[in-house]
Structure 1
Amino acid sequence: MSRHQRPRADATAVEADRRRGRRAVTNASGRFESARRDVFDDGWESLGELEPFKTHVRVEIAKSIITTNDSPDISFDQSINPYRGCEHGCIYCYARPSHCFLGYSAGLDFETQLSAKTNAAELLQRELARPSYTPKVIALGTNTDPYQPIEREHQITRSILEVLDRCQHPVGIVTKSALVTRDLDILSRMAAKGLAKVALSVTT
């Protein structure tokens, strides 16, 4: 292909009208699926009947909530992700492939097929109370943004912060959402004791 030749459009790309407001342009099958499925225009104009992608949130009753790691390349030892998938849909997000483990696509599914761990606060309270638990900073939202749009309704992140505040447990948060300011009452109280840090990611 010459430098001046325009690249061909991806034959598997989802029509712009169906993905309005989304970042990914395809929704190919997950890498671990036994069959590959692609939607494409075969000339019969059947794609015009397909609805735009909408956000679907399913309730997930998690079995555990604190994830631990011992990797020397990761700056935290334990983390909590209140949700699976992320409606922000940042195209560069390293977490997209993790959706394939659930049988979803790393493309549009990552932005539209979301899970909310509604029992997160209850599990956290239980796990912190274990005699064997060693307090370390919990990184909140390392695989998905804890303040993505669906947090407005579900308020799982806030319920987690309430538990951490009661237990005087340190937390670190990374988000790109202004919704974090909703929880300033809790965060400022924790920060005054050196228990909370918030980092804002700004897309340029």
Structure 2
Amino acid sequence: MSRWEPNARGRLEQAALELYIERGFEQTTVAEIAKQAGLTERTFFRHFADKREVLFWGAGALRELLVSTVADAPESAAPIDAIAAALEATGGLFQERRESVLRRQSIIAANAELRERELIKLATLASAMAEALRRRGVTDPAASLAAEAGIAVFRIAFERWVTDTDQRDLSHHIRESLVELKTVLADR
């Protein structure tokens, strides 16, 4: 094999997803992923800390997008509206990778350890957005409540998007779920 492999990360991710779906996450080894991608285990570990990271490596970029969108929201925006803008900004990221995201989600849904890891990721995103709101001058508990509510909206919207036979985009489901939340909060 040559020293430089084009799109090694993408090839490893693709190979891992294929193997996780075919054989199951637990039954797939790093060696098998590397072999399927035509790469070495060493190359795998240059890109991913372990085989779970293949499924979660994009969390950092997602966090940055959410935090920067909250930070850039108009000063007049209510905390939940800044969070809503951040969530809607994620729609394009997920939409352009829809097939890969759907495959990833089916793998996570089939494994308790991965579902737990996904919940930890979502909690981390909520904390990051709450901190971004605090930097905007929003005090607690409002910052934490808005961020946690936003993550709840995202989870519901994502579940709807994954199962949507009409294939409406994620942003549509985020807006729809946010309207539902506001309706629930307004009902007395």
Fold shared, TM-score > 0.5 on shorter chain:
no
Q: Which one has a larger percent strand, Structure 1 or Structure 2? A: 1
Q: Which one has a larger percent helix, Structure 1 or Structure 2? A: 2
Q: Larger Rg: 1 or 2?
A: 1
Q: TM bucket by the smaller chain?
A: under 0.3
